[in-house]
């Protein structure tokens, strides 16, 4: 079901290589291909869970992707994620300092659910019998208190082999200050005690995968470092085998793999540090959204004054993305069971405080700072014992799915509510491949409607009781989304009114306008292909490698020269490793420095970027105070500041997203037959005759005014009354709240 982008076009002066982004989802594997001319092709095919590579390779064939060393495939792999969630990882052992084998299981000694009568925690990824201790100890100052005896490691190797261990995680106390002991273990376990000539990448003669904490995360806090190292050891063998098969099938095309930090790495690196890919799924969506917003911004800015007046003129471009050189966006990725939101204030944000929520395990590698809520299109709505309408976290899942799918679902979901309100078209869902059953949706919502209307047995319901119930379900779902977006914006000192909401995922464009209104967000951007944005993100992901080291020093004593000297070894390593990843003909490597700072005595750090050039400690401190004040409402410029970690990010840039332009609109778009859609207006919840368009029929410059519905293969967009917008030359839809329909109108209505 490839969807060719419209022609004609003019070839560009500097063709970029053909690239293919592939994202494996639970149901579909999505492909986005961009050729030398910027032509985009989309493809979707069912995921093959037993052998995910099969769907990928089949899609590559179906698209006729050239078998050429210049034709690059960038891949978002869910192998690591699924191995963790399904606990199907390798037989993994953990080696720790004597006395601390249980740190992994004790964690932070807290229980996840405060009110559980029997507190439970997920069992650790490495069971007790495979957690081994070695006598060794390093002090908090980095001195060796007890040297590690190589003979003890040799003895342990025999046990590991006897147990059939496949992968080993090593994490010693204070190893970030003295990595020597972990390295010694790695050396012995890899070559069975025989010293290797090639110290960089010794070939393992023992067939053990070894993950040492200082290679992955040389930062303080033993539980978080141990857990991250264990995750890596647990998933690396599976990912290694999977990527081996995929690379074989794709050869000679080069393969890159998406990481949780939104950058790609070569398959070779991913095969050794697979934990870096563990949260990569949603990362592609954010990178894609940011690239799309960047593109929309460029297009808006480049529209000339001579062009016809309309939403793309510079004046309205400025209104759309005011004074921006980089877009300020909030991404809103609403899928079937959950919704991911991310605030990008001119850049994609990172955190080192990620976690694999299902396992309660921290993953302290840099990841895109995404916040997830357990509500999506498939979330179930019900009235609880106390009389409140709740939506989620239970979901109808892929099977049976929402009632309107007709696969046997009986309980009402958010998708059913959207259908009852006319916001989904029964014949245009998934490009018409999945006809929806409105009667089933109405039947599922009916019991809820009866209870919400407070009607007794035999009493007649108000005519719009069903729609009121459906609207209630959407309002509750939107309240959960709103709370999530508040967490990432207002809680961190940002006003949503300064941002554009980028809506994608199967359900994002359905809810975007009303959610934006709740948050006083004035603009919404719906990408050209909102349902495959993750795969698009893979296409534009830079090659990225992150490095960090804990220094724990007072900033006051730190000179520019010292700071530069602390960064130097990591930058040299980053430069060398990156050059190897990129190959001789690759782009120039960019290095970005940042530092994690806190007031002395605090325990949470703020990451502050350093500009290129000689470091300026005074400017770094000033920036830290300003960021602290923004995030927490106060700062203490006189108080001592600690430098906790230094970070270096090496970036090998990827050509920017340059779609071939969409043809300009010559005539008004031809709407499909109108449809009645329910909206909340000043007059209450009413049914409005609503224009319906096929998104593919819209051309650059076409404008649409709400109420309207846009249907396309991978999503449906609801344009609420009071919203209007237009299609830009790349095919993205830019919506804004029209003048004269201030948000207060809705509020006034709500509060009466």
Measured CA distances, 300 to 165, 305, 658 (Å): 57, 11, 14
* Number of chain positions touching other proteins (CB under 8 A): 71
Type and span of the H or E element at 627: helix 617-632
Q: Decide if residue 328 touches other proteins (CB under 8 A).
A: no
Q: What is the Cα–Cα distance from 440 to 446, expressed in whole angstroms?
A: 10
CB 170 within 8 A of CB 210: yes
Among 351, 390, 681, 705, which residue sits at the site for other proteins (rule: CB under 8 A)? 390
Q: Decide if residue 325 touches other proteins (CB under 8 A).
A: no
Q: Decide if residue 140 touches other proteins (CB under 8 A).
A: yes
CB 674 within 8 A of CB 692: yes
Q: Decide if residue 117 touches other proteins (CB under 8 A).
A: yes
Q: Give the nearer residue to other proteins in terms of CB position, either 124 or 707.
A: 124
Q: Give the nearer residue to other proteins in terms of CB position, either 54 or 479.
A: 479
Among 93, 103, 330, 589, which residue sits at the site for other proteins (rule: CB under 8 A)? 103
Q: Decide if residue 63 touches other proteins (CB under 8 A).
A: no
- Minimum CB–partner distance for residue 602 and other proteins (Å): 6
Q: Decide if residue 4 touches other proteins (CB under 8 A).
A: no
Q: What are phi and psi of 533, to 5 degrees?
A: -65, -30
Q: What number of H helices and E strands is found in the chain?
A: 18, 35
617 C-beta neighbours (distance < 10 Å), count:
20
Among 28, 65, 174, 332, which residue sits at the site for other proteins (rule: CB under 8 A)? 174
Query: In terms of residues, how long is the chain?
Result: 752
What is the contact mask toward other proteins in residues 506 to 535, using x (rule: CB under 8 A)? --------------x---------------
Q: Decide if residue 604 touches other proteins (CB under 8 A).
A: yes
Q: At a CB cut-off of 8 Å and minimum separation 6, what does 747 contact? A: none
- Scanning 42-179, the segments in alpha helix (DSSP H) are 52-62, 79-85, 103-106, 150-162
- Structure letter (DSSP) for residue 603: -
Q: Decide if residue 602 touches other proteins (CB under 8 A).
A: yes
- Minimum CB–partner distance for residue 362 and other proteins (Å): 11
Q: Give the nearer residue to other proteins in terms of CB position, either 384 or 668.
A: 384
Among 386, 584, 638, 673, which residue sits at the site for other proteins (rule: CB under 8 A)? 386
Q: What is the Cα–Cα distance from 437 to 453, expressed in whole angstroms?
A: 24
- Minimum CB–partner distance for residue 153 and other proteins (Å): 21
Token pair of 730, please? 């790349």
- Minimum CB–partner distance for residue 454 and other proteins (Å): 7
Q: Decide if residue 119 touches other proteins (CB under 8 A).
A: yes
- Minimum CB–partner distance for residue 380 and other proteins (Å): 11
Q: What is the Cα–Cα distance from 570 to 565, expressed in whole angstroms?
A: 10
- Minimum CB–partner distance for residue 107 and other proteins (Å): 8
* Residue 100, helix vs strand vs coil: coil
Q: Decide if residue 39 touches other proteins (CB under 8 A).
A: no
Q: Give the nearer residue to other proteins in terms of CB position, either 336 or 496.
A: 496
Q: Decide if residue 384 touches other proteins (CB under 8 A).
A: yes
Q: Decide if residue 115 touches other proteins (CB under 8 A).
A: yes
- Strand segments, DSSP code E, in 458-605 are 500-504, 523-526, 543-554, 590-599
Sheet holding 606-610, edge to edge: 3-4, 40-46, 28-34, 19-24, 72-76, 255-258, 264-266, 543-554, 641-652, 590-599, 606-610
Which range binds other proteins by CB under 8 A, 381-389, 588-596, 670-678, 689-697? 381-389
Q: Decide if residue 475 touches other proteins (CB under 8 A).
A: yes
- Structure letter (DSSP) for residue 197: S
Q: Decide if residue 223 touches other proteins (CB under 8 A).
A: yes
Q: Decide if residue 723 touches other proteins (CB under 8 A).
A: no
Which range binds other proteins by CB under 8 A, 46-54, 209-217, 382-390, 669-677? 382-390
Residues in 544-583 at the binding interface with other proteins, rule: CB under 8 A: 552
């Amino acid at each position: 079901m490839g969807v060719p982008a419209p022609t004609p076009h003019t070839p560009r002066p500097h063709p970029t290589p053909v690239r293919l982004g592939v994202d494996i989802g639970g149901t579909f594997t999505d492909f986005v291909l961009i050729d030398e001319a910027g032509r985009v092709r989309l493809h979707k095919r069912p995921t093959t869970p037993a052998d995910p590579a099969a769907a990928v390779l089949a899609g590559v064939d179906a698209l006729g992707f050239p078998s050429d060393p210049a034709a690059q495939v960038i891949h978002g792999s869910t192998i690591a994620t699924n191995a963790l969630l399904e606990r199907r990882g390798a037989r993994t052992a953990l080696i720790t300092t004597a006395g601390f084998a249980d740190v992994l299981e004790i964690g932070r000694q807290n229980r996840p659910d405060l009110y559980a009568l029997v507190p439970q925690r997920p069992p650790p990824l490495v069971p007790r019998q495979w957690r081994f201790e070695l006598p060794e100890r390093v002090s908090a100052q980095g001195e060796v208190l007890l040297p590690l005896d190589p003979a003890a490691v040799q003895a342990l190797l025999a046990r590991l082999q006897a147990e059939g261990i496949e992968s080993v995680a090593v994490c010693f106390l204070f190893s970030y200050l003295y990595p020597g002991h972990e390295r010694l273990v790695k050396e012995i376990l890899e070559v069975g005690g025989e010293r290797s000539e090639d110290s960089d990448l010794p070939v393992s003669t023992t067939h053990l995968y070894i993950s040492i904490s200082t290679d992955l995360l040389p930062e303080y806090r033993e539980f978080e470092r141990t857990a991250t190292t264990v995750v890596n050891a647990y998933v690396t063998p599976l990912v290694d085998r999977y990527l081996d098969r995929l690379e074989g099938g794709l050869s000679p095309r080069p393969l890159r793999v998406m990481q949780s930090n939104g950058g790609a790495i070569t398959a070779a690196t991913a095969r050794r540090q697979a934990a870096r890919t563990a949260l990569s799924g949603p990362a592609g969506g954010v990178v894609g959204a940011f690239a799309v917003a960047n593109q929309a911004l460029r297009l808006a800015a480049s529209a000339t004054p001579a062009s016809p007046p309309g939403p793309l003129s510079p004046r309205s471009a400025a209104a759309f993305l005011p004074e921006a050189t980089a877009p300020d966006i909030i991404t809103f990725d609403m899928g079937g069971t959950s919704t991911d939101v991310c605030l990008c204030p001119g850049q994609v944000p990172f955190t080192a405080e990620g976690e694999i929520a299902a396992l309660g395990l921290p993953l302290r590698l840099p990841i895109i700072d995404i916040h997830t809520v357990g509500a999506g299109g498939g979330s179930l709505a019900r009235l609880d014992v106390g009389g409140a309408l709740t939506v989620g976290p239970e979901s109808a899942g892929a099977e049976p799915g929402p009632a309107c799918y007709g696969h046997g679902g009986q309980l009402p979901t958010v998708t059913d509510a959207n259908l009852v309100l006319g916001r989904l078209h029964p014949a245009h869902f998934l490009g018409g491949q999945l006809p929806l059953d409105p009667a089933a949706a109405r039947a599922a919502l009916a019991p809820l409607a009866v209870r919400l209307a407070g009607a007794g047995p035999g009493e007649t319901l108000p005519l719009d009781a069903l729609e009121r119930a459906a609207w209630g379900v959407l309002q509750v779902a939107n309240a959960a989304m709103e709370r999530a977006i508040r967490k990432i914006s207002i809680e961190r000192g940002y006003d949503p009114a300064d941002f554009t909401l980028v809506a994608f995922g199967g359900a994002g464009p359905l809810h975007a306008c009303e959610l934006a209104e709740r948050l006083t967000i004035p603009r919404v951007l719906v990408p050209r292909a909102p349902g495959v944005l993750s795969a698009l993100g893979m296409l534009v992901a830079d090659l990225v490698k992150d490095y960090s080291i804990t220094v724990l020093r007072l900033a006051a004593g730190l000179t520019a020269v010292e700071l530069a000297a602390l960064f130097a070894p990591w930058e040299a390593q980053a430069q060398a490793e990156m050059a190897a990843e990129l190959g001789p003909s690759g782009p120039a490597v960019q290095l970005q420095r940042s530092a994690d700072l806190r007031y002395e005595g605090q325990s949470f750090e703020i990451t502050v970027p350093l500009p290129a050039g000689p470091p300026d400690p005074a400017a770094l401190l000033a920036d830290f105070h300003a960021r602290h004040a923004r995030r927490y409402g106060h700062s203490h410029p006189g108080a001592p500041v600690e430098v906790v970690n230094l970070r270096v990010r090496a970036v090998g840039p990827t050509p920017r997203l340059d779609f071939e332009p969409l043809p300009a609109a010559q005539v008004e778009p031809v709407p499909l037959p109108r449809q009645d859609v329910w909206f909340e207006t000043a007059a209450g919840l009413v049914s409005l005759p609503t224009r319906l368009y096929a998104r593919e029929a819209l051309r650059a410059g076409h404008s649409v005014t709400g109420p309207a519905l846009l249907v396309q293969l991978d999503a449906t967009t609801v344009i609420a009354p009071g919203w209007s917008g237009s299609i830009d030359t790349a095919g993205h839809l830019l919506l804004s709240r029209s003048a004269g329909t201030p948000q207060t109108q809705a509020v006034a209505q709500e509060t009466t």
